[in-house]
Amino acid sequence: MCIPFWISRSRSASLVLLAWSLVLKLDASPAIDLSTVQTMVGAGKIAELKALGKEVLPVMARLYEASDLTQRTRIAQTFYALGWKSAEAKRVLIKDVHTPDQQLRLEVQWALGRVSNDDDVVTVLLNNMQHDANPLFRDKAACALASDQIHLTEQQKVRLFAGLIQALGDSKPDVRRIAMLALQIQTGQTKGFNPDAPLIERDAKIREWKQWLEQYKSNL
């Protein structure tokens, strides 16, 4: 999982280079050829795609819709790598957020938070984390919630925190565990919550987390 908040170059030079090399557009071509984009995506040429500017995103979205599962997986990876907000990207990706195809599902779950900060992205990932039948998908949804919601504002994080705190009360131990892990990565603390503790102890800690959330909201 990536390091949220403040990334120190001395520690994470590669992360910074990755992040910054992928952010923001350069000059965009007036007309972007679909086949050129297809070739670039296939070859993993992120820098060249980035050089095309954000106008490449709707083209990639159209390509995604017209592609097979393998190609969609590559495009989702590319959306993730670019890290640019895009309504078109979110629109096509979210259609596959329940796909049974394992590779595509993981890439879509990871990419969504990097293309959008819409409320329904957090909602659908929280839902997958708690209710998907496949434990792997649940775990990776939590991973996405912990590390990939890069466009969320402090206000928008309320929804994320509320969902994770609510999931601490889930009947499934693995959900409680991954919800706690995501919350810990987001906030740096657990407030002593143990996902395997007796119910009464867990409830007490969940109340602490809810109080914390109220205080968080009052500071916005």
Alpha helices in 23-169 (DSSP H): 34-43, 46-51, 56-65, 69-82, 87-93, 102-115, 119-131, 135-147, 157-167
Instruction: Output the DSSP codes for 114-132.
Output: HH---HHHHHHHHHHHHH-
Contact characters 142-181, another protein, x per CB under 8 A? ------------x---------------------------
Residue 29 region by backbone torsions, left for phi larger than 0, else alpha for psi between -120 and 50, else beta: beta
Q: What's the one-letter identity of residue 166?
A: Q
For another protein, give the closer residue by CB, 142 or 146: 146
Of residues 55 through 94, those in contact with another protein by CB under 8 A are none
Does residue 198 belong to the site contacting another protein (CB under 8 A)?
no
Q: What is the three-class DSSP state of 5?
A: coil
Among 29, 39, 189, 194, interactor with another protein by CB under 8 A:
189
Of residues 10 through 49, those in contact with another protein by CB under 8 A are 10-12, 16, 19-21, 23-24
Of residues 113 through 142, those in contact with another protein by CB under 8 A are none
Using CB under 8 A, list all residues that contact another protein: 3-12, 16, 19-21, 23-24, 154, 184, 186-189, 191, 212, 215-216, 219
